Amino acid sequence: MLIWIAALHCEAKPVIDFYRLKKSPAHRGFDLYQNDDMCLVVSGIGKTSAAAATAWVAALQSTCASTAWINLGIAGAASHEIGSAFWVSKITCKSTGQNYYPVPTFSIDFNISACTTLDQASNEYQPSTLYEMEASGFFATATRFSSAELIHCLKFVSDNQHQQSRFEKAAISTLINQHMETIDKFAKNLQLLNQQCMNLKIDNTVWQSILEQARFSMTQQAQLKTVLGYLLSQGFDAEALCQQVSQRTSSREILKQLNQIRLDQSRNL
């Protein structure tokens, strides 16, 4: 399952129209649009709303073997051209200073930038980052249900220090819609990676060996399965991985070490 999170309906509209997603009349917490292999949630503005929507839809899709995520929306920039599109390589929460790092595992056809998540809109631009209001809440929550290589943010510049945004709905939809072919290519690559994670079977002996080392919650088991699946898909030996985490006695430490192995591997791609 591929899940899209967008703050505004005008940001979501290009995706809804492109994939012909249908609004679900059965769900009232957030507006939900879906087809057989993807869904989109309109969260509302802000990191708290994005986090709530992400947790809400993750609960709805809890029976999925593996879930991939895209947060899509507008952002401000110092000097980038209006309408330019970016894949986010680093997310910084302005209020907490916490950093998050999405992991690229396939070719990225977008420009690449860091972004800073603000609690309130601001026109005080810095040259090294995009500004928006949802990514940190989205990413921090999504990593509770999937590993980082399956969680991504795509941002589209709607305003800069020379041209302030008026948040005109039609203009925002048009701005994102002009990138839909590239967005679709990215989404297909992500779906393929997600399918590989689902199809890769983890040897039960290996699985039980790690589970016996510590107490894993159901959420942590899902995270463990995803990161193990990814590492095995990249050619890592299952017994060697077990050996590397054999001295860890807490589920958090085991997941942290496996995710560090994954991060080190992705940096060498």
pLDDT by residue (tens digit) across 93-106? 999 999 999 988 78
More confident residue, 235 or 133: 133
pLDDT by residue (tens digit) across 35-79? 999 999 999 999 999 999 999 999 998 888 789 999 999 999 998
pLDDT by residue (tens digit) across 185-195? 999 999 998 88
Cβ atoms of residues 19 and 35 within 8 Å: yes
Cβ atoms of residues 87 and 152 within 8 Å: yes
Query: pLDDT value at position 31?
Result: 96
DSSP summary character for residue 128: T
Tokens standing for residue 127:
């040259």
The mean of the pLDDT values for the chain is 90
The CA-to-CA distance between both ends of the chain, in Å, stands at 25
- Give the pLDDT band of residue 161 (cuts 50, 70, 90): confident
Query: pLDDT value at position 51?
Result: 98
pLDDT by residue (tens digit) across 240-253? 888 888 888 899 89
Residue with tokens 């054999």: 246
Residues in the chain: 269
Instruction: Please report the domains of the chain, with CATH numbers, ordered by start residue.
Output: 2-196 (3.40.50.1580), 201-267 (no CATH)
Q: Within 13 Å, how many C-alpha atoms sit on residue 73's CB side? A: 30
Query: pLDDT value at position 217?
Result: 83
User: Whole-angstrom Cα distance, residue 183 to residue 30?
Assistant: 23
DSSP 222-255: HHHHHHHHHHHHTT--HHHHHHHTTT--SHHHHH
